[in-house]
Structure 1
Amino acid sequence: MIRLIAMGLLLGLTGLSLPALAQDTSAAGDTILVFDASGSMWGQIDGVPKITIARDVVKELLDDLPPERRLGLVAYGHRRKGDCKDIQTLVPVGGDRAAIAKAIAGMNPVGKTPMTAAVQQAAEAVKFTENEATVILVSDGQETCHADPCAAAAKLATMGIGLTVHTVGFGLGEEEAGAKGELKCMADATGGRFFVADDAKELKYALAQISVAPSTKAKAAEPAPAKAEPAPAPDPAAIPTGKASLEATDQQGGPVIRQDLVWTVRHGATGEVLHESDATGKLEVELPRGVHDVSVIRGSDGATAEGEIKLTGDRASLTLPIVVELKATLKVPATAAAGSKVRVIWTGPGEGDDYISVGPADAGNSRHANYTRTKDGNPLQLLMPPTAGTYEVRYVSAKNHNVLTRESIDVSEVGASVEVPAKAPAGSTLRVAWTGPNYANDYISVAKVGSAGRSEVNYTRTSAGNPLKLLMPAEPGPYEVRYVQSQSHKILASQPIETTKVSATLDAPDSGAGGTRIKVSWTGPDYANDYVSIAKVGSAGRSEVGYQRTSRGSPLELTLPDDPGSYELRYVQSQTHRILASKPVTVTAAQ
């Protein structure tokens, strides 16, 4: 990968005096410093990160250069990962040197290395079409942002008045023939000089040659002290290969990422780039067998992951989790009533099915009483548990159910009451006065004593008003009237009540011909939908042959069935179809 190191860094590495370079740049017009803030600047030289060396040495450079020397600063890779457009002119030529020092001191290397575009922008910053100017470039690798440095340099040479680009290939391995060619052609095209340096001594020699004289368009670029030619590389066709399948997940154990990934595969021994993809998702690529380093960058946020793939046979696969530290905040009240809804203000990723939950403080992260999706708004409403206690409100990432942040909240009990008489006729309707939170779907019920919260016989929602009407059970016996909180059917209050037996009577002829009508007089509670019926003797309460509602009055008329036989008249209470009274009647053959 290309690494452009600021001019001051080079001086610090070699021990070359700053005045020597000042002498050169004064002869060549304005000078632009190209500062490398790509991720590899965290690499070390003799145990010291390159970014640290660069900061210190550039500061020395700024202090020692004569005040009349006009300088500028271009940097790249200092803002975003994986972005070939991350190039910025931070200080224009002739700007304040204190601004240059401050900008360099605050850089955090994170990005890629767009060598060609960086040189072009540096040339524009020194107005190379109007003035003589110098760009000094040192690289330890090859262009990786799909540009042609040779063509770009040739174009700059034809457009500029006197632009000179000096290049030094620093620390290039034998496999970096492509990098050497690119750097040499950039220098050749602009009348600059190209050097190869493998260590500090050779780098010092190269910089000394650049500093002692300005560029000369007629003089060919020359190498540093000669080296032996490397041994010929093995024939690529003779190296066995295999298929490598690469994929990345969003967070550890999260979903597979389907797009916007840039993959780079390097030879594990030499560091040579074997494959670099355009934006894609899952990747399948043919590689030489062996152990290779794999890195992936997500374009949307520049997040990265690294690993290695061991390709010892025909196929191998690798899954890299792209882990990004997700942050969130919550603002919740310190206390809340059980079963109430609280207003929660949040910050966080807000992705997909992320949610805000409330659960016991001592329970696992995935256990919760209630939750609301972040996509439902901000702030959002969160339902508190029905039981008092200390709970946690949590921001949970739906990708892997990680809790990003949590806040404690104390939930207090809520009170309720019901007012009913001690006794009421079975099947009657009472007016019940109540107090309570009146949450959505809360209700007043009547149930058997000691039964669970959901075992009511009858109920009415509290939204029906206060007091409200509640139907008593049809069967006589001991019951209780309750205020029930709808969430988890928690009983907030109860009062005992006994339902007493109700009676009814029937008066009608003892017999009649089939198909004729008879008059039936009755007494009874006359509850809504009660009825008088005729049915076979011994049949259930809902097996009537014919019936009339008691709301028609007394007496009422019933039509006898056509089939002769033994029947009975009944007074039936509509709730549960309870038979309150009966009288036998004989149906004779029709005349």
Structure 2
Amino acid sequence: MKTLLPIFTILFVALTALAQEAPAPMLLIYDASGSMWQKLGDETKKVLAAEALSSTVANFSADQPVALMAYGHREKDNCDDVEWLLGLDNTSKEEVIKSVRSLNPTGKTPLARSARMALDQLREQQKTATLILITDGIESCDGDLCQTIAEARLAGIDFKLHIVGFGIKEETAALRCAADAGGGQYFDASDVDKLAAALQEATRTTVDNPSENLSIFTTKNGQPVDAWIKVYPSDGEEAVAGGRTYRDTALLAVPAGRFKVDVRPLENTDIRGTSFEITLSAEEQLHRTVSFDAAKISVTTTVNGELTDGIARVYPADFSQPVANARTYGGTKVMEVDPGTYHITFEGLKVNGAGKLDTIRNITLDGGAAREMVHNFEAGTLVIGVQTQSGELIDATVNVVDKALRQNMAGSRTYTSPGSNPRTYDLTPGLYEVRIRTLGAHSGQDETIEVEIKPQTTVEKILTY
């Protein structure tokens, strides 16, 4: 795993010195799933991939260790069909070529399990390696390759992962995510020529020979934080490099020139990202530490002191678009925002009336601050029933209007079921006009009554016709 060094050149020199001592193993994770029998042109993927990989491996230096794993080559429906064929100390290129050509594509595509088995071996042997995963499809078992790779980086396993997608027609976002998490590249090889070129490039950019010249480390309130990074030409909109820090130092390969670097923190935060300009010469290595401050707001909503569902929204001083929002679902939710002064609105989802919306203004939050806010909505209960003199339930519409605002606050129908007649409404305190209009066999009645709702009280009105 890359250490958190403030000076990128130290890391670069250390890795270069390591490369001069002995090359780290190249670990090939090879696709032998059943889909490799599909044809590209006049030949199967199995044959084309084996030939391209054989040509690449044959050009390795004599002292280059080459390990080989395969998946999907023994059992049709077994997601655990992953096998080490040649270990991390193997230097025989002939054995690699022989093993690849002898594989019989059969089963599934357990990408995450294959990667986990490889990474476990690196951890156990305390070795560094360049992993090259060759696949003609996406995960077909229950694994999450990107998460597997990210967790391995966080656990301190030292590796670089390249992924070569051979003739893949599905969505490749998960594969790209995994390659990004592994500090490598995703190569989209739609034909055998592109496959050969991808393998050449992947085997040149190894953990021993980093092409990265920009390192970025991100913190939040003084602690490492995961963050997205995108590098754009100063006058362009198409990124030339990108990656994630995974609470570590992200290493990026950036060409010479002037660029804008966008850094956006992750990990369930609403704090804004930042941008800065850099200029890189051809032989320069550059490091930046990006520090973010954040404040936390814990929000809870209650009705008459009892937990309830509600929404809290955090607005900037000009009341433009909210910078964060959270729904409490009868519990406590935490929002994380940039330091500053905000207005916070609370909306009660289990009450009706003008008082279901409230605003707390000019809340100042400093970096590192943690503010707890419990907002209580006062409410009373209105019960409306409609029936005949003999007790037969009557279907009717009910509309509850705020008398002062002349706005409809609640409404429904009573129907003729004891479960809905009478109807119950939780309302914030105030004066209301309630209009009842009968339907069906008892239609023709239209009546408006006035009620006053007080906190923690119940007003019951049973109308008879």
Higher relative contact order (CA 8 A, sep 6+): 2
TM norm structure 2: 0.37
